[in-house]
């Protein structure tokens, strides 16, 4: 049987491959992402649109999970995203710099699909770092 942490690991395997078709099966239609610093995204289609937009500026982004915990229909993951700032993003000119953003996520699973996610990262420091020359 697949547990919530397995579903989270699969999500990041798909994320690292940018396999948008596979997400169609992994995310519930009303998949919701809560970002501590960037607000909420509601719906699988809205999330995938945001990921496509994000990957335009950070095409080589990968996520490495360092730890997971699970209980009931919930999982938590500690991870770090790494990428190159390759194209302008939200008005910030690309720098070509590599960056690492440590973060944590909390995930709610329905069956073998992700239904809801809460992300916690220092997006303000990350964004300021992107803009630094």
Task: Report the mean per-residue pLDDT for the chain.
Answer: 92
Instruction: Indicate yes or no: pTM above 0.75.
Output: yes
For β-strands 74-84 and 98-110, DSSP reports them as antiparallel
pLDDT in tens, 90-109: 888 999 999 899 999 999 99
29-54: pLDDT as tens digits: 999 999 887 789 999 999 999 999 99
Confirm if 31 and 43 have CB atoms less than 8 A apart. yes
Q: Report the CATH fold assignment for 4-131.
A: Nuclear Transport Factor 2; Chain: A, (3.10.450)
Structure tokens at 112: 């073998």
Q: Are 67 and 78 in contact (CB under 8 A)?
A: yes
Question: Exposed, middle or buried: residue 46 (CB in 10 Å: 0-12, 13-18, 19+)?
Answer: middle
Query: For residue 129, what are the contacts with CB-CB under 8 A and spacing of at least 6?
Result: 99
Q: Nearest Cα to 80, choosing from 23, 133, 17, 12?
A: 12
Residue boundaries of the structural domains of the chain: 4-131
Residue 76: strand pairing partners = 69, 106
Hey, how many other C-beta atoms are within 10 angstroms of the C-beta on 85? 19
């Amino acid at each position: 049987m697949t547990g919530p942490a397995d579903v989270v690991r699969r999500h990041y395997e798909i994320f690292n491959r940018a396999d948008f078709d596979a997400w169609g099966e992994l995310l519930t239609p009303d998949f919701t992402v809560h970002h501590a610093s960037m607000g909420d995204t509601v719906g699988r289609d809205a999330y995938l649109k945001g990921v496509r937009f994000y990957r335009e500026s950070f095409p080589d982004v990968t996520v490495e999970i360092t730890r997971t915990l699970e209980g009931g229909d919930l999982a938590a993951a500690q991870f770090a995203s790494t990428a190159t700032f390759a194209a302008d993003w939200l008005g910030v000119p690309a720098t070509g710099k590599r960056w690492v953003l440590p973060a944590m996520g909390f995930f709610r699973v329905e069956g073998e699909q992700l239904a809801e996610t809460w992300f916690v990262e220092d997006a303000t420091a990350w964004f300021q770092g992107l803009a630094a020359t």
